[in-house]
């Protein structure tokens, strides 16, 4: 899996450096690092933070309010 990420990163980073897109390169590296971290976390059964839990915490009260109102 690591070799796969390295090949993809090499191809993308090479293109971004040639086009002199520094901001896009930084964003790409950050997102790719997060993807590698989470991929290894899944393979090694790490207890990782799930971004979906934040969305669930935000929208759960709104969802409860809407569906409770429609049941009455």
- Per-position pLDDT tens, the chain of length 72: 788 889 999 999 999 999 999 999 999 999 999 999 988 998 999 888 887 888 888 888 888 888 877 655
Residues 34 and 9 sit within 8 Å (Cβ to Cβ): no
Is 25 within 8 Å of 16 (Cβ atoms)? yes
Contacts of 31 (CB under 8 A, 6+ apart): none
- pLDDT (0 to 100) of residue 24: 94
Indicate the pTM of the whole model: 0.65
């Amino acid at each position: 899996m690591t070799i796969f990420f390295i090949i993809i990163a090499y191809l993308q980073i090479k293109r971004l450096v040639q086009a002199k897109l520094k901001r896009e390169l930084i964003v790409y590296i950050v997102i790719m690092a997060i993807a590698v971290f989470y991929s290894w976390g899944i393979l090694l059964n790490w207890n990782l933070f799930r971004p979906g839990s934040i969305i669930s915490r935000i929208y759960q009260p709104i969802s409860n309010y809407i569906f409770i109102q429609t049941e009455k």
